[in-house]
Structure 1
């Protein structure tokens, strides 16, 4: 098969490449990313091309690479800059529209779209929902709004083209973690001046006690994606690991003392420090964490034969071990996090929450 992966060098993409090499070594893999990595290590055996799905000519460029593709996997998304919401929308929502148009025109046999628990409406925090739960997103979270908007585009595309529409699978994972993504995730979420390796040594964990997250390891997401590709599966699939991950679980993994900070106060602190440009994460991410439901993954289990291999605490421990040891890969999104380099770039190119290349 010829498999084209958009966003193949990020968190999920890196895990997917590894899983494809393990299970489908004869496939032709094409990677489309903004900054192609060197084809070594995790990124070997891939035909890499530079492409930004937010560009005006993205449809034509995508179509050229989609020719003769059996499957297209769309993993492209932006998490920063949080201060340029219009750009993030062009990447996530506009990019999805471009992929749909190009895939339809090229006659792609199967499109796999990475969605998120963030596509779901609030109202069932701490309770499990299946794939039929309302998909309107969390209003205060740009990430969540855009995930919901991207799925609406798929709905409209399928209604418009009917039986002739490219078959689409929508994969909706919870919060995705892995050791290899440690540097990338901390680059997005921590201030440049804070050494990331100190995070796992926090003596106190000041969070609202009601935190309850659907968590999943990237390797388990990759396994589900390969099963979707193998079976040509379509429709939505929730992906998460039970039991849910709580504040107390995080405190235990960190070896920290948990301190209850009510969500309104915590939200005010996050919002104030973001507006003061002291840290790069806006309040929408906190609202998302305390609003999303848990995920009923019965459909993935029954139709794909999928079961996660990582328990939630094990998955978080894997990420924290990566943070403590500055784990990274050779791709631009997951490269090593360097405090001197980040501070230099903050001073010369603007804060990570404002620039388009973290």
Structure 2
């Protein structure tokens, strides 16, 4: 696996959880001479070697700007994604699906030789919850009732079509588990728990038990480790899909160890009903449909990323979750609009 020095990389969604880590990882690589970071809102964040441009992928007329911005790039890393509003999936579809298709069109028109796309474990069809997990050949039909999974799965089909039409373009699909870092914790609290969730009150001694819901078994990864995988995929002649996750798999017992709490069995129907009621009255933005999907996500086998990319995570799953908890309680953030740190409100 050889890389060519002097590469120019364009990154979409560069101000978010993954984007801020990816642009920093690329800027620190000696084989990269230029990083162009694209976002809807130009940030205050300054990273040596990184230039910023503003572009709104949800706008139908953004293709021309994208084509000009990506022309001459050696690779485009596409990370842009909108999680809300969960009550209006048309809005997220326009941004995530149609916006991604505009990126793909710009890559083809500009003749960019490589496209690295941020897919997700959420693109996978329901599967086994036990190790060693599913490899990258597992079906990617998602869970159709959840907008996030539906959109990720649809874009997998779009990339199938793209590869048939543009075989000269190297396409990589990254499929990570849940991604956490301290600087993204405030954003993730707002996305999943709501703007007014009391971050400072998320203290271990205030969590008397950990609910054990059937199927609640998932994988996580520190965002900086995922960024290294994206960097390797952008710079080296690899293609296809890569699962990304860290050990160990997280379940109720692992969470209880991490939080020094005790496990209490909770019926799936009770957990879902409670979440659905809160979501319907807009108390929380996380939808019950996404909860349904999480309970069905398969466990991932990440051996291809290790053998082909030469990648392995530097942080355990527990360390990634601890970083998230520190950030939630401390109002962790970064100098971008999505990652603005705030303890309350």
Summarize the alignment of residues 147-162 of structure 1 with structure 2, pairs less than 5 Å apart: 147-161=152-166
Q: Which moved more, 1:13-22 or 1:136-145?
A: 13-22
**In structure 1, what is the equivalent of residue 3 of structure 2?**
none
**In structure 2, what is the equivalent of residue 124 of structure 1?**
128
The Cα of 1:191 is off from its aligned counterpart by 2.9
SS in 2 for 1:295: coil
Would the aligned equivalents of 2:134 and 2:301 in 1 still touch at CA under 8 Å? yes
SS in 1 for 2:218: strand
Q: Distance in 2 between matches of 1:192 and 1:207?
A: 26
Q: Distance in 2 between matches of 1:314 and 1:119?
A: 25
Would the aligned equivalents of 2:202 and 2:329 in 1 still touch at CA under 8 Å? yes
Q: Distance in 1 between matches of 2:309 and 2:130?
A: 25
Give the counterpart of 1:24 among 27, 30, 43.
30
The Cα of 1:139 is off from its aligned counterpart by 1.7
**In structure 2, what is the equivalent of residue 355 of structure 1?**
none
**In structure 2, what is the equivalent of residue 66 of structure 1?**
70
Summarize the alignment of residues 12-161 of structure 1 with structure 2, pairs less than 5 Å apart: 12-24=18-30, 26-40=32-46, 43-127=47-131, 128-161=133-166
Would the aligned equivalents of 2:248 and 2:318 in 1 still touch at CA under 8 Å? no
**In structure 2, what is the equivalent of residue 171 of structure 1?**
174
**In structure 2, what is the equivalent of residue 349 of structure 1?**
none
For normalisation by structure 2, the TM-score amounts to: 0.93
The Cα of 1:95 is off from its aligned counterpart by 1.5
Residues 265-292 of structure 1, C-alpha deviation per residue, up to 9 Å, x if partnerless? 1111111110011111111221122110
For normalisation by structure 1, the TM-score amounts to: 0.90
**In structure 2, what is the equivalent of residue 200 of structure 1?**
203
Give the counterpart of 1:323 among 322, 328, 345.
328
| Alignment gaps of 5+ in structure 2 | 1-6
Name the structure with the higher helix share. Answer: 1
Would the aligned equivalents of 1:130 and 1:238 in 2 still touch at CA under 8 Å? yes
| Alignment gaps of 5+ in structure 1 | 343-358
Q: Distance in 2 between matches of 1:18 and 1:200?
A: 31
